[in-house]
A and B are shown apart, each in its own frame.
Chain A
Amino acid sequence: MADRITRAEVEHVAKLARLALSDDELAALTGELGAILDYAAEVSALDTHDVTPTAHPLPLVNVFRPDVARAGVPRDEVLAAAPAAEDDKFRVPRILGEAP
């Protein structure tokens, strides 16, 4: 298994996970994740070269239903629960580019 997770890797993972972690959180998590991953790495002790991975306990198949319109969740109630809404849509800060 790989070497212990570094602080730089933890910062990278926090970016991937969209978490603006504080310095204290990054420091604590570096140690904690290292210890947990050391334990979790026990799974590599088992020989699994011809074992199929299980993603799900049920043999799932696609579920179909007739294409008939039916009532959904009321839009007004959904938008009322959002932090910000405008013109029947969710409102968010700007997504692209620098401020004009």
Chain B
Amino acid sequence: MSAREIAADVRAGRRKARDVLEEHLARVDAREADVHAFNLVLADAARAAADAVDRGENVGPLAGVPVALKDNMCTRGIATTCSSRILEGWRPPYDATVVERLRAAGAVVVGKTNLDEFAMGSSTENSAFGPTRNPHDLALVPGGSSGGSAAAVAAGFAPLALGSDTGGSIRQPAALCGVVGAKPTYGAVSRYGLIAFASSLDQIGPFAANVDDAALLLETIWGHDPCDSTSIAGSRASLGSGADVNGLRVGLIQEMIGSEGLEPAVRDAVRAAADALGAAGAKVDTVSLPSTQYGIAAYYLIAPAEASSNLARYDGVRYGLRVDGEDVSRMNAATRDAGFGREVKRRIMLGTYALSAGYYDAYYGQAQRVRTLIIRDFERAYEQFDVLLAPTSPTVAFEIGAKTADPLAMYLCDVCTVPVNLTGHPGMSVPFGTDAAGLPIGVQVIAPALGEPVMFRVARAIEEASP
């Protein structure tokens, strides 16, 4: 049952929010031990919230709809871990703006989902609390870093979930788990209360089992927030309900459809989705964005540089873990060594190096100039096309452990998603068929800044045409 149907039924009094919740909690009970989508299931708090909806206290557009939250979004008085030991025992003194907006809309928060520590990873294996498993095949990763949120929706634990996307962390797990996931335009959704990873790239967005539900969730959370200085002012256009692509110009990104390491089944699915849009009246052509080939290289200088600065706050003074030392500096260093996992340390080191004297211009400065070139490539493409089409992930879900020994191989999972974070544009993944083994494939739709209405229209057309 879709989130839209649940909310409509609860509002009309046809179903009780409590009954809806119990159905979802029963699924959690049955499969969570295998899937490990959650760091924390909030069954009691969720029951109280559902009962309040049933008393008519909080009947908004998401009335009675269970929602799972990635565990890097602050929930007042409720542990928020980023799947890191360094935040052990910390309970935030405030709610993230998205959490306030969900509650005001009548949503029922069912739990905090697992992630790669501080959202750094593409498989949810970098969690201090153990990996999440792909509900389609428990031997496989769900993707990451929002793997817990993607798996929660795929397993039917919640019809909706929120994730965050810095280099593909919503879209890639959505593709690997066979659900819809959208990264909105940078600044469209408030990040107040989202624990920062790379501030010029991070964006919160929705997961859902279908495109319309993802639109419903995004319409609930987006809009200006005075608590976030990067939040875009002004109202947002409705995401509509149509799937008409007649006359739309769709550009297939040549470098991504031809990229090294792209599985043939994924390439075929993207081509089939493009053909389906063509059959529905869109004008489809290929477009070259040569600078996007340098996206991963630029990203893995820019994101770690920003992370090394953002994660300086974990110093054993204000929250979470402290490991004692004879002076402050030794306490800081001992705390950070004990509290951070391997990938987080790797990125802090990489970022600190890229920003250090003598290397700043060659690495960080050059990466920022390449970022400009990538933005220019997209701007040129949008002179000819309304939306762009690409794979989301070069592969379907891979085995747990397959890439953990090779950081660079893991980074290349994001080759098709990272450029969209560097430009700040919206992008979303829509399921489109499976490979021969039955594993889900995602097709990525990319639009210009604040182009979410046309992006969702194209996504609906792809969803309707999906085999």
Interchain CB contact under 8 A, A46 and B373 = yes
Q: Which of B93, B301, B322 contacts A40 (CB 8 A)?
A: B301
Secondary structure of the B side of the interface? helix
The 8 A CB mask of A62-86 against B (1 = contact, 0 = none) is 0101000000011001100111100
Shortest Cβ distance from A46 into chain B, in angstroms? 6
Tell whether, in the assembled complex, residue A54 and residue B90 are in contact, meaning their CB atoms are under 8 Å apart.
Answer: no
Q: Mask for B305-340, Cβ within 8 A of A = 1, else 0?
A: 000100010011111111011111111111011001
Which chain A residue has the least Cβ–Cβ distance from B226? A65
Q: Are A14 and B349 in contact (CB under 8 A)?
A: yes
With A33-B346, A60-B229 given, is the CB distance from A43 to B370 under 8 Å?
A: yes
Nearest-neighbour CB distance to chain A for B158, whole angstroms, equals 27
Q: Which of A23-60 contact B (CB under 8 A)?
A: 25, 29, 32-33, 35-37, 39-46, 48, 51-58, 60
Min Cβ gap B230→A in Å is 6
Interface centre among A9, A21, A60, A81 (most CB of B within 10 A): A81
The 0/1 profile, CB within 8 Å of A marked 1, for residues 177-206 of chain B is 000000000110000000000001000000
Q: Which residues of A contact B308 (CB under 8 A)?
A: 17
Is B229 in contact with A83, judged by CB distance below 8 angstroms?
no
The A contact surface, by secondary structure, is: loop
Indicate if the CB atoms of A83 and B320 lie closer than 8 Å.
Answer: yes
**Is A51 a contact partner of B373 (Cβ separation < 8 A)?**
yes
For B300, give its contact among A1, A40, A99 (CB under 8 Å): A40
Complex contact B372–A94 (CB within 8 A): no
**Is there an interface contact between A82 and B186, defined as CB atoms closer than 8 Å?**
no
Give the distance in Å from the alpha carbon of A18 to the alpha carbon of B309 in the complex. 12
Q: Closest CB-CB distance, A57 to chain B, in whole Å?
A: 3
Given A33-B353, A36-B408, A90-B318: A58 in contact with B187 (beta carbons within 8 A): yes
Most chain A C-beta atoms within 10 Å of own C-beta, residue among B317, B325, B449: B317
A95 closest partner in B (C-beta)? B328
Interface residues on A, range: 35 or more
A56, B327: Cα distance in complex, Å? 37
Contact A44 B366 (CB under 8 A): yes
B328's partner among A29, A45, A93 (CB-CB below 8 A) is A93
For residue A28, which residue of chain B has the nearest CB? Answer: B342
Question: Which A residues are CB-close (under 8 A) to B281?
Answer: none
Q: Which residues of A contact B373 (CB under 8 A)?
A: 46, 48, 51
Contacting pair B91 A1 (CB below 8 A): no
Asked if A43 contacts B367 (CB within 8 A), the reply is yes
Chain B CB within 8 A of A2 CB: yes
Interchain CB contact (< 8 A) of A51 among B93, B300, B369, B424: B369
Residue B356 interfacial (CB < 8 Å): yes
Q: With A18-B332, A19-B348 in contact, do A93 and B327 touch (Cβ < 8 Å)?
A: yes
Q: Is the CB of A54 within 8 A of B363?
A: no
Of B298, B308, B327, most buried by chain A (CB within 10 Å of CB) is B327
Query: Which listed residue, A13, A20, A78, touches B336 by the CB 8 Å rule?
Result: A20
B359 touches A17 (CB 8 A): no
- Do B349 and A2 touch across chains, with their CB atoms under 8 A apart? no
Closest Cβ–Cβ distance, residue A8 to chain B (whole Å): 13
Residues from chain B with a CB closer than 8 A to the CB of A57 are 186-187, 200, 375, 422-424, 449
B77 to chain A, nearest CB (A): 8
Closest B residue, CB atoms, query A21: B337
Cβ-neighbour of B318 out of A5, A21, A40, A82 (below 8 A):
A82
Whether the pair A33, B350 counts as a contact (CB closer than 8 A) is yes
Quick one: closest A residue to B367, CB to CB?
A43
Residues on B with C-beta less than 8 A from A78 are: 93, 318
Q: Are A43 and B297 in contact (CB under 8 A)?
A: yes
Contacts of B324 in A (CB 8 A): 93
- Determine whether B352 belongs to the interface, using a CB cutoff of 8 Å to chain A: yes
Partner of A44, one of B91, B94, B362: B362
The docked-state distance in angstroms from the alpha carbon of A33 to that of B447 is 34
Structural contact, A48 and B300, CB atoms closer than 8 A = no
Interface residues of B in 380-407 (CB under 8 A from A): 407
Give A22 to B340 CA distance when docked, in angstroms: 13
Partner of B317, one of A73, A90, A99: A90
Could you tell me if A40 and B297 are in contact, using CB atoms closer than 8 angstroms? Answer: yes
Assuming the A-B contacts A18-B336, A29-B346, A54-B375, are A83 and B316 also in contact, with contact meaning beta carbons closer than 8 angstroms in the complex? yes
CB of A20 within 8 A of CB of B356, answer no
**Do A46 and B294 have beta carbons less than 8 Å apart?**
yes
- State the B residues within 8 Å of A (CB): 89-94, 186-187, 200, 226, 229-230, 232, 291, 294, 296-298, 300-301, 308, 312, 315-322, 324-334, 336-337, 340, 342, 345-346, 348-350, 352-354, 356, 359, 362-363, 365-373, 375, 407-408, 411, 422-424, 449
Given contacts A43-B294, A43-B298, 15 further A-B contacts (CB under 8 A): A5-B353, A14-B349, A17-B348, A17-B349, A18-B329, A25-B345, A35-B408, A37-B353, A54-B371, A56-B230, A57-B200, A57-B422, A63-B229, A82-B319, A93-B327
